[in-house]
Amino acid sequence: MNAPALLRAVVLSGTGGVWRARALDGTEYDVTLRGRLKQESRYSKLAVGDDVDIAEDPRVGAWSITGIHPRRTVLARRAPGGGRGERVVVANVDQVVIVFSIAKPEPHVRMIDRFLVIAEGNELPARLVVNKVDLADDPAAIDSLAADYERAGYPVHRTSVKQNAGLDALRAVLVNRVSALTGPSGVGKSSLINALYPGLTLRVGEISASVNKGRHTTVGAVLVPLPGGGYVVDTPGLREVGMWGLPSASLDHCFPEFRPMLGECRFQDCRHLTEPGCAVRALVDDGALSAARYESYAKLLAELSEAEKLY
């Protein structure tokens, strides 16, 4: 018997047993792992976003996964205490897009910094979207908020769904990439997606609910194909990923603007809090590093150190 033809596909969602995979031509298939492959541990770790080969079993007319291609990246939830046993939430994410608004609700910088640390901890590039710029009383407020992040090397998009501003530039960076979109409730994530892709009827944040109207209950992240190429990942939130497992001693590396200073402190294991001769503190005191970013660092460090005591 001839070997069945393989199709290359991307895993969009899963129930734990049945997975939805999308072939390069856009056709979607319900696929399962069957028989021997299921026993192999690397297949039991299949995740949304995985790049797979699928084939039809002519005897039963059902599609199954026959192989997984190497992952480019993983957005993972690591075991507390930095132990083994990470769970991949999404594979092959190309970038994290953090959306917040200049008003209604007010930007919550501590939360933005937490999302950025999660991206850095997973070695994923991140960009920021400041939405609702039409609501800014003073346009300078947008620039001063953006400045901290731009100095740290993150691209910042200024958008307004209401005024149709900044949308083309945002669409251009989503094309042909897998983007994990996150941000607090009410900042306009669904509105942005609807404005960027009027043909896309599914609403980010409500996707999982809609998928669940079908036969299977979707668990975890869902990849939404974008018209024109690329995917947006709807996760129950990066909060689900958390910072768990990030060693407190590597938090400073997750603040890109600190990195040039990290070899310069007097003590090699400097935590950049009250140690004498701290190069990071010196720049914060000079105003060369953002005090708000530094404050986030100190808060997150306390949180991670506290968690480490428990393990």
Ligand X SMILES: Nc1nc2c(ncn2[C@@H]2O[C@H](COP(=O)(O)OP(=O)(O)OP(=O)(O)O)[C@@H](O)[C@H]2O)c(=O)[nH]1
Summarize as ranges the residues that interact with ligand X (CB under 6 A): 131-132, 134-135, 160-162, 185-191, 205
Is residue 284 a contact residue for Zn ion (CB under 5 A)? Answer: no
Q: Which of 28, 34, 55, 190 binds Mg ion (CB under 5 A)?
A: 190
- Among ligand X, Mg ion, Zn ion, none, residue 191 binds (CB under 5-8 Å by kind): ligand X
- For 175: left if phi > 0, alpha if psi spans -120 to 50, otherwise beta; the answer is beta
Task: Spell out the alpha helix ranges (H) of the chain.
Answer: 36-39, 41-44, 109-121, 139-151, 167-174, 189-196, 207-211, 238-241, 279-286, 291-309
Is residue 305 a contact residue for Mg ion (CB under 5 A)? Answer: no
CB of 243 to ligand X, least distance (A): 21
Which class for 30: exposed (0-12), middle (13-18), buried (19 or more C-beta within 10 A)? middle
Is residue 205 a contact residue for Mg ion (CB under 5 A)? Answer: yes
Residues in the chain: 311
117 or 161: whose CB is closer to Mg ion?
Answer: 161
Q: How far is CA 236 from CA 64, 180, 205, in A?
A: 27, 11, 8
114 or 293: whose CB is closer to ligand X?
Answer: 114
Task: State both tokens at 237.
Answer: 């939130």
Is residue 82 a contact residue for Mg ion (CB under 5 A)? Answer: no
- Among ligand X, Zn ion, Mg ion, none, residue 280 binds (CB under 5-8 Å by kind): Zn ion
Provide the binding-site residues for Zn ion, judged by CB under 5 A: 265, 270, 272, 278, 280
Provide the binding-site residues for Mg ion, judged by CB under 5 A: 189-190, 205
